[in-house]
């Protein structure tokens, strides 16, 4: 019955889009500040930066903006509630499998709320060993945990602000005592093989760069290693066979690794410009993922001691293929990769020779190796989903190459998904994934999503929330622009640094192509992007302000010049390769041409909904604040131009309010499209 009502509403006369604001937005006054850097400049709103996040005047301003946003969106509250009710009731597909880790003679599971569970085996009833640590209010993230081999001491990495400056708590599960608190840490933490030492990585103050490895033992901490190059970051992991601890240092295009087996950081292979290598071990096998020959491939070394001195044997070439994941098993090596945007799986035997090659997806779908996997197993778990295909998983027999479960479920018959290719501005073919409802024939509104940074492929996931848009006459599309990783390393490199404009060109080319589709209403095109995707959308709005009828920008990275000119901000020095180094003339010129904040101009900008997080360390709150203030001053449109700042959150959405915020964003776009219920 509900479906029929929705369809009836679509056939009716569309409701009016957002009316003009009932009152002017609360003023964000100019606060000029001289910005130092390679080229000094005056930022008209730069004075709103407050690193302490505690200025009464700032907090008052942000609360006023939040209240005004709520007032402007008051009329869409019924629609927001309807959306949330639909999402609660909608089929979500096969749930993610619960992972139990075998440690200290038992199986253990940690929940997102900080509660710890223990069981003897799969048949035993779990018992709670640690009560939930998530508070009733405020932000909470459990980033990592590590259990001591004695099964008694537990180390947790937790964030209560949203800035990803974690606190490590070392707990005694038997007594309930807190043995130590280690502040200002990254999320990586591991016990040594003998259980005598807890390794953690400290964040650099202000920049939050993971830069020091510390060893905690018997209540004392000792500095083991420090990464002095400000463009490099430290991380930790354990090899598949759990015999070795690896300390890794890397930047955007290079890596260097150390063994921690004897408590000291023993160099594996010295860093070389542009060389990446990541090793793993299983029994006598030493395998290395590396770009040594120009493409990420898989190699084998004779021993750990000879990784640096002896040549590696090539097992698997990454030519024309983008290696994403690999897993070592006792008798097999499994590689998951992308080829022309589709997911594939290769299985190598114990001798390193290819035994099976299987396509996992085609078109607007995605699949991956699920979980950590048991290295002694003879099967691997693959999880798959599509834009109209609910998530599910299947086991693959590694010896036979046969699936050990029913084939994939059929796509939901109401919806259609596909991948198209759009010819970009410079002739490059740009992939775009789309999904829509088949039985709605009227010209549809379009929501175009984009990201395009860090080589992230932006997979075409199944999103139950998106289906509510499709039911109301939308097409949902993901533009896989350059700078992302759907088509491999070259696709990524062709959309970063001085080539970043390619990302924007691709996004606008996709929008233009879809606007010409007879099934799509060109007057109802909307855009959405978050973080680096917010930069993409904001830059597209500057360059084609009339292309979109509205946009949602989630914690958008919009002050490109201001951030990259400030090396004391988190991530700046580590991301010169991604965005450009202002000390390089050509880099600075490219950033100046693109930076969304610096290229705002007099134009009819469409209505916008913009979010920020007060404690966001990746995109500081002042970027969305300044950008929206300056856009309001320049725009000849009526808006509304809305800003919502999570005052107790950071870059990630707060789980307890995430659905409410998503409903507000979707209802904003639906209302602009003329859909009121």
Q: What is the pLDDT of residues 534-570, one digit of tens each?
A: 999 999 999 999 999 999 999 999 999 999 999 989 8
Which whole-number Å values give the CA distances from 114 to 6, 194, 236, 372, in the listed order?
A: 40, 26, 21, 20
pLDDT for 137 beyond 90: no
Contacts of 661 (CB under 8 A, 6+ apart): 611, 644, 653
Domain spans in the chain, listed from the N-terminal domain onward: 2-7+36-72+414-672, 320-411
DSSP label of 549: S
Give me the mean pLDDT over the 436-453 stretch: 96
Burial status of residue 13 (CB atoms within 10 A of its CB: 0-12, 13-18, 19 or more): exposed
The pLDDT score that the predictor gives to residue 677 is 86
Distance between CA atoms of residues 51 and 163, nearest Å: 12
pLDDT band at 78 (very low <50, low <70, confident <90, very high): very high
pLDDT band at 2 (very low <50, low <70, confident <90, very high): very low
For the segment 418-435, what is each residue's pLDDT rounded down to a tens digit? 999 999 999 999 999 999
The pLDDT score that the predictor gives to residue 17 is 42
For the segment 386-426, what is each residue's pLDDT rounded down to a tens digit? 999 999 999 999 999 999 875 555 556 899 999 999 999 99
Give me the mean pLDDT over the 506-513 stretch: 98
Choosing among 3.40.50.720, 3.40.1160.10, 3.40.50.1820, 3.90.226.10, the CATH entry for 2-7+36-72+414-672 is 3.40.50.1820
pLDDT for 513 beyond 90: yes
pLDDT for 631 beyond 80: yes
More confident call, 2 vs 75: 75
The pLDDT score that the predictor gives to residue 12 is 35
Give me the mean pLDDT over the 593-610 stretch: 98
pLDDT > 70 fraction of the chain, expressed in percent and rounded: 96
pLDDT band at 11 (very low <50, low <70, confident <90, very high): very low
**Listed range (20-24, 39-43, 141-145, 320-324) with the worst mean pLDDT:** 20-24
**pTM listed for this prediction:** 0.93
Residue 90, token pair as written in the block: 């909608």
pLDDT for 173 beyond 70: yes
pLDDT for 38 beyond 50: yes
For the segment 327-354, what is each residue's pLDDT rounded down to a tens digit? 999 999 999 999 999 999 999 998 999 9
The pLDDT score that the predictor gives to residue 166 is 96
Phi, psi of 469 (to 5 degrees): -70, -45
Q: What is the mean pLDDT of the chain?
A: 92
Contacts of 516 (CB under 8 A, 6+ apart): 522
Residue 128, token pair as written in the block: 């709670």
The pLDDT score that the predictor gives to residue 152 is 95
């Amino acid at each position: 019955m509900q479906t029929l009502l929705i369809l009836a509403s679509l056939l009716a006369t569309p409701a009016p889009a957002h009316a003009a604001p009932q009152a002017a937005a609360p003023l964000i006054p100019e606060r000029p500040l001289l910005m130092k850097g390679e080229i000094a400049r005056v930022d008209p709103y730069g004075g709103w930066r407050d690193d302490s996040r505690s200025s009464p005047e700032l907090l008052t301003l942000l609360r006023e903006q939040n209240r005004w946003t709520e007032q402007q969106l008051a009329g869409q509250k019924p629609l927001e509630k309807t959306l949330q009710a639909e999402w609660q009731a909608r089929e979500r597909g096969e749930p993610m499998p619960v992972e139990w880790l075998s440690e200290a003679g038992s199986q253990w599971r940690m929940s997102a709320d900080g509660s710890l569970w223990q069981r003897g085996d799969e048949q035993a009833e779990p018992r709670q060993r640690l009560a939930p640590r998530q508070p009733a209010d405020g932000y909470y993230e459990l980033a990592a945990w590590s259990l001591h081999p004695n099964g008694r001491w537990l180390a947790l990495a937790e964030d209560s602000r949203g800035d990803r400056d974690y606190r490590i708590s070392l707990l005694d599960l038997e007594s309930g005592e807190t043995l130590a608190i280690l502040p200002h840490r990254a999320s990586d933490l591991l016990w040594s093989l003998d259980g005598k030492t807890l390794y953690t990585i400290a964040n650099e103050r202000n920049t939050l760069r993971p830069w020091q490895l510390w060893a905690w033992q018997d209540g004392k901490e000792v500095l083991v290693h420090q990464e002095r190059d400000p463009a490099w970051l430290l991380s930790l992991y354990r090899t598949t066979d759990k015999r070795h601890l690896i300390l890794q240092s890397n930047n955007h295009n290079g890596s260097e690794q150390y063994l921690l087996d004897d408590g000291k950081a023993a160099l594996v292979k010295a860093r070389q410009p542009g060389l990446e290598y990541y090793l793993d071990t299983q029994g006598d096998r030493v395998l290395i993922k590396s770009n040594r020959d120009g493409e990420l491939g898989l190699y084998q070394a004779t021993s750990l001691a000879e990784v640096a001195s002896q040549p590696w044997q090539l097992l698997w070439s990454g030519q024309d293929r983008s290696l994403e994941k690999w897993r070592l098993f006792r008798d097999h090596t499994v590689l998951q990769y992308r080829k022309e945007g589709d997911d594939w799986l290769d299985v190598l035997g114990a001798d390193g020779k290819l035994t099976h090659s299987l396509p996992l997806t085609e078109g607007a779908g995605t699949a991956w190796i699920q979980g950590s996997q048991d290295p002694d197993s003879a099967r691997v778990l693959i999880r798959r989903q599509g834009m109209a295909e609910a998530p599910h998983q299947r086991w693959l027999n590694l010896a036979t190459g046969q699936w050990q479960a029913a084939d994939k479920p059929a796509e939901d018959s109401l919806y259609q998904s596909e991948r198209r290719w759009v010819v970009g501005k410079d002739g490059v073919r740009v992939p775009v994934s789309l999904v829509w409802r088949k039985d709605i024939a009227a010209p549809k509104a379009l929501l175009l999503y984009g990201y395009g940074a860090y080589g992230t492929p932006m997979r075409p996931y199944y999103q139950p929330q998106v289906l509510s848009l499709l039911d109301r006459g939308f097409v949902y599309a993901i533009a896989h622009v350059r700078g992302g990783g759907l088509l491999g390393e070259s696709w990524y490199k062709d959309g970063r640094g001085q080539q970043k404009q390619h990302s924007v060109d691709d996004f606008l080319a996709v929008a233009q192509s879809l606007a010409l589709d007879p099934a799509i209403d060109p007057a109802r095109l909307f855009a959405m992007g978050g973080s680096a995707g917010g930069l993409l959308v904001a830059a597209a709005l500057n360059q084609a302000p009339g292309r979109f009828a509205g946009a949602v920008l989630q914690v958008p990275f919009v002050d490109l010049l201001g951030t990259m000119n400030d090396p004391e901000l988190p991530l700046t020095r580590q991301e010169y390769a991604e965005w450009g180094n202002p000390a390089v003339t050509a880099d600075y010129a490219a950033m100046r041409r693109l930076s969304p904040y610096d290229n705002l101009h007099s134009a009819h900008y469409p209505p916008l909904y913009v979010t920020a997080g007060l404690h966001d360390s990746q995109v500081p709150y002042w970027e969305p604040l300044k950008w929206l203030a300056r856009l309001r001053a320049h725009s000849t449109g009526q808006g509304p131009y809305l800003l919502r700042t999570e005052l107790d959150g950071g870059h990630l959405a707060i789980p307890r309010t995430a659905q409410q915020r998503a409903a507000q964003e979707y209802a904003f776009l639906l209302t602009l499209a003329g859909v009121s219920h």
